[in-house]
Amino acid sequence: MESSDTMTYDVVGAGFGPANLSLAVALQERREGGTPRPTAAFFERKPQLGWHRGMLLPGAKMQISFLKDLVTFRNPASPFSFVSYLHAMGRLPQFVNNQDFFATRQEFHDYLEWAEAKLAHQVTYGAEITQIRPPASGRRGEAIEHLEVEVRGDSLPGGTRVLTAHNIVISTGLVPRMPAGVQRDERVWHSSEFLDRFTAWNPGELNRVAVVGAGQSAAEVVRYLHDALPDASITAILPPYGYALADNTPFANRVFDPSAVDDYYYGSERSRDVIWQHHRNTNYSVVDDEVIKGLHERVYGDEVAGRNRIEFLNLSRVCGVKRAADETRVTVMSVATEETRELDVDVLVCATGYDPMNPAPILGELDSLCLRDARGRYRVERDYRIATAPELRCGIYLQGGTEHTHGLTSSLLSNLAVRSGEIVASLLDRRK
């Protein structure tokens, strides 16, 4: 049985991670000359709010200042700020005394939950948006003034709900990427599911673990395994010679400023390429200073103790995995010689990164009304709305998946507060 709403929402949000949480706050805070606040409903497929829980490793730090929270860059006086959270928790003086711009991921997660609790009435959990489509009653070529949203999940009466909306904001997040041809299973994990998988095992059965990748996830997982499995041997398989430093120096960090979005968006194809070439190392395939140092200290400590617990296979990539019953055989190729070798492990952790958000599957037939550039990527307006064929009058906004148009902050937290404000302003403008 399908349940249907009769009202048409101004906006429906797909996903309720930090991006749409920030949008929900921006909608809440927007009051303009007595205009009624846009009506909104958000749907999240997880059973509760969770921000990369599989990587909520003890001691893991945020990669941005606590001031780049859900709101502060748009509204420093917001009651949803990280500072307001600290105040509410009675920890503001201690946080300041701690003299660290970078909170732990656990504390930031707690902040997100605190903010979410004030807006929970707008969110349905355990509810996946499976399709967004033109209304069934519409005729081909006619103007489309609202969209139908199909939601599925055990939390819904009858398992399905269909509602209508004038605008959709898709914030469904990054998609875990595995090495080509490698499938996930109980012994071959992606880092995004690391803690869920790890805690389901008896640590005593994990004697040989390999971790693939040279980014922040890989380094954090290797560090964690070194501490959690004192008797195991750990193999780190990484393409460069060693973990490289994430550039978070002050001038380079300007690439995450709200104004950098305009520089990128209105720049030429060439200037965008230059920005990528110079600043990819602020985020991708790089590791924070503190994690590199912590890991090196552990490796050196092992050397002093006369035992080598982490083996580094550098200049190496994983190019295949053979699985049979309890056996997991990894094929590792040297990027220097192209020779391969085989490695038997109990578990392989692929910290091999993520693909950008891809809205095409839930857009279904609507996708053909979304305009694309010569390279097949969505054309996206400055207000994060996909450029669409003229008959589609509804807004389909993206939070994520816009690195080609809006730059590096697309999948990050740095610009959430400002971006959400810009989307709300656009929704209100278009409503007029």
Interface contacts to ligand FDA, rule CB under 6 A? 14-15, 17-20, 43-46, 51-52, 55, 62-64, 128-129, 171-174, 217, 362, 399-400, 411-414
Interatomic CA distance for residues 208 and 261, integer angstroms: 44
Interatomic CA distance for residues 378 and 238, integer angstroms: 33
- Which SS3 state, helix, strand or coil, does residue 343 take? strand
Residue 409 binds ligand NAP (CB under 6 A) = no
Interatomic CA distance for residues 397 and 383, integer angstroms: 8
Binding positions for ligand NAP, 90-119, rule CB under 6 A: 105
Q: Which one of ligand NAP, ligand FDA, none interacts with residue 400, CB within 5 to 8 A by kind?
A: ligand FDA
Among 15, 353, 359, 395, binds ligand NAP (CB under 6 A): 353
Instruction: Report CA Rg, the chain.
Output: 23
CB contact at 8 A, 155 and 124: yes
CB of 384 to ligand FDA, least distance (A): 12
Interatomic CA distance for residues 415 and 253, integer angstroms: 12
CB of 416 to ligand FDA, least distance (A): 7
Residue 170 binds ligand NAP (CB under 6 A) = no
Among the listed ranges 16-24, 82-90, 228-236, 349-357, the one in contact with ligand NAP (CB under 6 A) is 349-357
- Which SS3 state, helix, strand or coil, does residue 14 take? strand
Interatomic CA distance for residues 101 and 283, integer angstroms: 18
Of the pair 27, 413, the CB lying nearest ligand NAP is at: 413
Residue 62 binds ligand NAP (CB under 6 A) = yes
Residue 285 binds ligand NAP (CB under 6 A) = yes
Phi, psi at 8, each rounded to 5° = -105, 120
Q: Which one of ligand NAP, ligand FDA, none interacts with residue 359, CB within 5 to 8 A by kind?
A: none
Please give the angle made by the CA atoms of 262, 263 and 268, to the nearest 5 degrees: 115
CB of 53 to ligand NAP, least distance (A): 12
In the β-sheet with 347-350, what is the strand arrangement from edge to edge?
A: 188-190, 347-350, 208-212, 233-237, 310-313
- Token pair 């409503």 is found at 431
Of the pair 246, 386, the CB lying nearest ligand NAP is at: 246
Of the pair 321, 423, the CB lying nearest ligand NAP is at: 321
DSSP 91-143: -HHHHHHTT-S--BHHHHHHHHHHHHHTTGGGEEES-EEEEEE--TT--TTS-
Of the pair 61, 187, the CB lying nearest ligand FDA is at: 61
Q: Which one of ligand FDA, ligand NAP, none interacts with residue 386, CB within 5 to 8 A by kind?
A: none
CB of 293 to ligand FDA, least distance (A): 18
Number of residues that bind ligand NAP (CB under 6 A): 27
Handedness of CA 158, 160, 165, 168 (dihedral sign): positive
Of the pair 155, 334, the CB lying nearest ligand NAP is at: 334
The contact set with ligand NAP (CB under 6 A) reads 55, 60-63, 105, 179, 191, 212-218, 220, 237, 239, 283-285, 317-318, 351-354
